[in-house]
Amino acid sequence: MTLRINDIAPDFEADTTEGPIRFHDWIGDDYAVLFSHPKDFTPVCTTELGLMASLAPEFTRRNTKIIGISVDPVESHHKWKGDIKIATGHEPAYPLIGDPDLNVAKLYDMLPASLEGEATGRTPADNATVRTVFIIGPDKRIKLSLTYPMTTGRNFDEILRALDSIQLTAKHQVATPANWKQGQDVIITTAVSDEEAIARFGSFERVLPYLRETRQPE
């Protein structure tokens, strides 16, 4: 069954480049980003994991852990790290899950239902849908899910932007408009009355009867 927003993220045990984990215990009280890639030693994936390594401090600043996964074994992940550093200047210091039996990939619906069996001998094309991102909250519920085609590298700045919005709107009764970035005005949700809005945010601008904007709260 497809995972949806606010579903509990499935728990699992797995081997990683940082040792064995139980996923929910590993998340703890933080946010987490679980992102998958089709195959080690492939070009697009190399650029993605290097970029994610460069952004690791930004995720840490947001109390968010990052963890990658593919259907390759952990030994392959370790060997690949050197290539990632050569190509991007950054070596992943975050854990990478080895999932050669497809257990986690299937648990998170990262593969088409038609793909069965083991990962051994597969080409990247066989695993074309395994380029997925999940943002998971401290409550272990899924806050965001995205799936990209194999030929399209992800924009991880957008993942950070979405994470900022998720964390902000979890704290305040606001929403963020299209293309919103940290520090820009936000939208007051319809659940907040005008009187409450003034008490909470000090002031607001009524753009439409149902659209009220205010400065981003702290």
C-alpha separations of 58 from 51, 68, 170 in Å: 12, 16, 19
Question: What are the counts of helices (DSSP H) followed by strands (DSSP E) for the chain?
Answer: 6, 11
Question: Is there a catalytic annotation at residue 45?
Answer: yes
First to last CA, the chain: 38
**Catalytic option among 14, 34, 45, 67:** 45
CB 45 within 8 A of CB 122: no
182 Ramachandran zone, left/alpha/beta (phi>0; psi -120 to 50) = beta
204 half-sphere exposure, CB direction, 13 A CA radius? 26
β-sheet with 174-175: strand ranges across: 174-175, 186-188, 211-214, 205-208
Q: 57: which strand partners?
A: none
CA dist 71 and 101 (Å) reads 7
* C-alpha closest to that of 32 among 95, 100, 104: 95
Which positions are annotated as active-site residues? 45
